[in-house]
Amino acid sequence: MTVEQDVAQDERIESETQRIGRSVWNQLSHQRPTLFDRRWLDDRIMSWAMADESIKVQMFRFVDVLPMLRDHEAINRHLHEYFEDVQESLPWAARLALHVTDGNRVLGRALAVNARSNARRMAERFIAGSKPEEVLKAIRKIRDSGFAFTLDLLGEAVLSEEEADRYQQAYIDLIEQISEPINALPESAQVDANHLGSIPRVNVSLKLSALDSHFNPADPEGTTDRVLDRLRPILRTAQEYDAFVNIDMEQYEYKDLTYAIFKQVFVEEEFRDFFNAGIVCQAYLKDSADDLKQLKEWAEQRGTAITVRLVKGAYWDYEVIQAGLKNWPVPVFEQKWQSDDNFEALTVYLMQNYDVLSPAIGSHNMRSIAHAMATAETLDVPRDAFELQMLYGMGNDQAQVYANKGYRVRIYTPFGELIPGMAYLVRRLLENTSNDSFLRHTYQEDQSIEELLMSPKQAAAKAPETPEKPKLPFLNEPTVDFSKKENREAMLDALKSVREECGQEYPIIISGKIYETRQQLTSRSPSDRDLIVGRVSSATSDLAQEAIETARRTLTTWAAIDADHRAEYLELLANEMRHRRFELAAWMVYESGKPWHDADADVAEAIDFCRYYALQMREMDGSLETNLPGEENLYTYRPRGVAVVIAPWNFPLAILTGMTAAALVTGNTVVMKPAEQSPVIAAKLMEMLKAIGLPDGVVNYLPGNGEEIGPQLVSSPLVDVVAFTGSREVGLEINVKAAETGSEHLSVKKVIAEMGGKNAIIVDDDADLDEAVAGVIDSAFGYTGQKCSACSRAVVLDKVYDEFTKRLVAAVESLQVGPADDPGTQLGPVIDGEARDRINEEIESALEEGAELLFALEIPEELKKGSYVAPHVFTNVNTRSRLAQHEVFGPVLAIMKARDFGDALKIANDTDYALTGGVYSRSPANLKRARNEFFVGNLYLNRPCTAALVHRQPFGGFRMSGIGTKAGGNDYLHQFLIPINITENTMRRGFAPEE
């Protein structure tokens, strides 16, 4: 088509859009619910809630938590907690209800019953039911109204293979059970046929992520195999009973893999000719146009048309927030008119290709639907070649108008249990009560048809300018998105390249000179002890002394370099790490047994330490002056001197880099001693320090046996600061040794010690168990429990203990144990054989103490060449037992029962440690209480208790977890500096110079 023809076509579509839209509007204006209609009260509640954003949020939060509230006291308490702070915005009746039920058990019970009844009524409006007979009744009603349907089984999270199997079987049972009664209903030519002939009456929609407990885009091959094992039987059942299967789309991270699995299964011989299949396209995604084009090319090659359900998208807030938290590009359009405009462009594309991509327009927006109808008429698309799809319980009057006009309208009909149903309900209510939603306009008296039918481009011209986002003082380094093919390929290439470099030898480096020793540290891969990652020279006492003296000699020169120049070295180091990012992650995969995500996060954190400490040093560089006539006062900083950095193996790059970078940027010189288990990664850090041109002797690389050279490094009178991260026993010993002084000592040593933890996560009786189970699994078994921040105790309130424990055990059972270089591995090896034996001894000790072993995985025979420990879950654990008190540093979790939230806090606090802790709760009062009474250095509410980020979550604990410093915090550099105050008397002979 020429440009002129395109313009003319657009003008015809716009004219028809206005005509059709006004026609629909005129019919809708006579179909509002009356006082006697059941929907009237629901609509009044919705209208009231939407008038105030704070009320809307609190109401939806209450609806979300309601299924977990098992008695009227809990309901009444949560009503007061959620709405007390917004009482002034409530209607007078609601304010009165809260007031009179405060402390009154009888009235409180009545309020709770009423609240549950109202929420259940609302849920019944939007959810078709939970039992087969309820679903069939709803379907018959839908068809009696002249609509088609698609059924969606509710469920927000699948955490175990058992739950994935249950999800699969539910769809097989559904198709088998409803096909006969539904197909026996009277035929409707409008909804049971299209331009090609008859179409299935039974239509289901499912999520691929619910067919696998570990839907992992970083492992597309493994995920695809597992999903297809469960999807194929569903498709076979659909073929047998002539049912239609839609594949729903979820968060952006899953999109590419969802399309890939869909395309793969439907070119298999068994399903190549299966035309009763469809998939969703989300118009709010910036790359949705490309997705549709690729889908069209695939469908043409396949030779059989498919249906595409075009929607705006239900995860907009989630996608924007996640992108902001991860510092990733935002995948969705950030203004509503852009999504609307793209929706219309994609509608035109689908209509132009309706013979290959059968359009299913999913929207409640009057403009969007009118535009689709107008496009079809303009392009001569048969009316029965496409359909409109709307949500069950939403916009019923609007749907009826379209059906009356002869369009096929399909109702997206969710069904299932109340608990997952409430989560669905909240998401749909939030999605459809936005400021620009048609459904919101239906509750307003001043609604304007001109505004409703305004084209996206007109809306853009009238839209207020998007406020500029506030500039944050520091943005964390983005982790790698392994859902992207190019990133997976880059990681695989790095793993291959690094594997070829394994086995090399690495020397000690002091003042730029290479020292090789007869004694070596042999670094072996925890995943396969036969693989030697590298052989590293092990320092002698003489070399340790040489390193200390070198650092002392270079101190004056390095300290004299201005702070800005020192900060530049850190920024250069960060850039070098970015350049070698995948390589560094690959070294950690092999040497430390870190799975892909953990290894990459380690590199990102090392980069963050460099950039953040450079920023902090520049901010601290300006001296503080306090001047009076006749007196000048200068407050400034000097480096402490020689710093010995003793790093752990579990964060072999990040923590080593963080402590070294902090010492360097503050003007100290460094003796860098890595852990014996991870000397090769430290050698790579030394390579990068040399590559950026750091002067010789400023950092000295001193790998060696800690028992042999550690005491010498800590006790030396030439050392001024010791920065240590590691075990409690070693940390306390360092503190004692460093405190010993003699006549040869020039200073009292500063010790910075980050030690261990015995961290607990509290699961409240109103917690979202989908989130709580996943969060405890992630916290307890991420990196095989080898994080000082790891959750080793789950303190669960009695009311949810059984349900939580059952789901958690099933989730642990589904964990994939394997070598760290396998992208599908969720639980890799522990660091070495010594650690494996120590953890197994702790497990035996727990059994001897009487703890009940609830579950333990078996380690496959083919993994016996590595250092593997099966994840263990214990219950009936005595709060004073070794298992409850002693840090295990491995995949061992104790589940402990608490009577109430106060008892849970008491149990959680009952250790010598105070590092991290977590709480899963939807009670504002209990969350507030946790802030005040949970004694830990890092407290995490409704999220895992690991994965602290520089600047956002400065990390460190107290009691026996550390001395109270915060790595990655704005005061961490002070530990490496000595504050100096200089005062000058400027008065001479009775006068003082003017400023």
Cα separation, 259 vs 274, in Å, equals 17
Task: Give the confidence band of 538 by pLDDT, cuts at 50, 70, 90.
Answer: very high
Per-residue model confidence as pLDDT tens digits over 826-846: 999 999 999 999 999 999 999
Collect all residues with Cβ–Cβ distance below 8 Å to 788 and sequence separation of at least 6.
Answer: 650, 725, 754, 755, 756, 757, 887, 889, 915, 961
Residue 179, classed as helix, strand or coil, is: helix
Cα separation, 778 vs 791, in Å, equals 9
> Which position has the token pair 């030779």?
303
Collect all residues with Cβ–Cβ distance below 8 Å to 575 and sequence separation of at least 6.
Answer: none
Beta carbons within 10 angstroms of residue 390's beta carbon: 21
- Give the mean model confidence (pLDDT) for residues 356-363: 96
Chain-centroid distance of CA 193 in Å reads 43
Which residues in 517-548 are b (16+ Cβ under 10 Å) and which e?
beebbebbbbbbeebbbbbbbbbbeebbbbbb
Lowest mean pLDDT among 266-275, 415-424, 590-599: 415-424
Per-residue model confidence as pLDDT tens digits over 591-602: 999 999 999 999
Per-residue model confidence as pLDDT tens digits over 240-264: 999 999 999 999 999 999 999 999 9
Whether 716 shows a pLDDT value over 60: the answer reads yes
**DSSP characters over 705-732:** -HHHHHHHHHH-TT--EEEEES-HHHHH
Task: Give the confidence band of 742 by pLDDT, cuts at 50, 70, 90.
Answer: confident
Task: Give the confidence band of 440 by pLDDT, cuts at 50, 70, 90.
Answer: very low
Task: Give the confidence band of 169 by pLDDT, cuts at 50, 70, 90.
Answer: very high
- Give the mean model confidence (pLDDT) for residues 922-946: 97
Q: What is the pLDDT of residue 577?
A: 98
Q: What is the pLDDT of residue 347?
A: 98
Judged by phi (left if over 0) then psi (alpha if -120 to 50, else beta), residue 989 lies in left
Give the phi and the psi of residue 21 in degrees, each rounded to 5.
-60, -45
Whether 53 shows a pLDDT value over 80: the answer reads no
Per-residue model confidence as pLDDT tens digits over 755-810: 999 999 999 999 999 999 999 999 999 999 999 999 999 999 999 999 999 999 99
> Do residues 944 and 938 lie in contact, with contact meaning Cβ atoms separated by under 8 Å?
no
Q: Apex CA 931: angle with CA 926 and CA 932, to 5°? A: 95
Q: What is the pLDDT of residue 439?
A: 43
Task: Give the confidence band of 34 by pLDDT, cuts at 50, 70, 90.
Answer: low
Question: Helices 366-378 and 396-404, interaxial angle, to 10°?
Answer: 20
More confident position, 739 or 913? 913
Which residues in 829-862 are b (16+ Cβ under 10 Å) and which e?
bbbbeebbeebbebbeebeeeebeebbbbeeeee
Whether 111 shows a pLDDT value over 80: the answer reads no
- Give the mean model confidence (pLDDT) for residues 505-515: 97
Task: Give the confidence band of 68 by pLDDT, cuts at 50, 70, 90.
Answer: confident
Per-residue model confidence as pLDDT tens digits over 865-920: 999 999 999 999 999 999 999 999 999 999 999 999 999 999 999 999 999 999 99
Give the phi and the psi of residue 876 in degrees, each rounded to 5.
50, 50
Cα separation, 932 vs 926, in Å, equals 10
Collect all residues with Cβ–Cβ distance below 8 Å to 359 and sequence separation of at least 6.
Answer: 307, 308, 310, 347, 350, 351, 372, 385, 386, 387
- List residues bridging with 641 in a β-sheet: none
Per-residue model confidence as pLDDT tens digits over 385-419: 999 999 998 878 899 999 999 999 999 999 887 66
* Residues tagged active-site: 754, 788
Positions of E strands within 623-668: 624-628, 631-639, 642-646
0.95 cut: is pTM over it? no
Lowest mean pLDDT among 96-100, 337-341, 662-666, 880-884: 96-100
* Mean pLDDT of the residues in the chain: 90
- Give the mean model confidence (pLDDT) for residues 48-60: 68
More confident position, 386 or 746? 386
Whether 432 shows a pLDDT value over 60: the answer reads no
**Residue 87 per-residue DSSP state:** G
- By DSSP bridging, strand 892-898 and strand 872-875 are parallel
- Give the mean model confidence (pLDDT) for residues 965-976: 95
Q: What is the pLDDT of residue 436?
A: 43
Task: Give the confidence band of 118 by pLDDT, cuts at 50, 70, 90.
Answer: confident
Per-residue model confidence as pLDDT tens digits over 560-577: 999 999 999 999 999 999
Give the phi and the psi of residue 626 in degrees, each rounded to 5.
-130, 105
- Give the mean model confidence (pLDDT) for residues 343-362: 97
More confident position, 579 or 746? 579
Greatest mean pLDDT range, 66-70, 119-123, 484-488: 484-488
- List residues bridging with 871 in a β-sheet: none
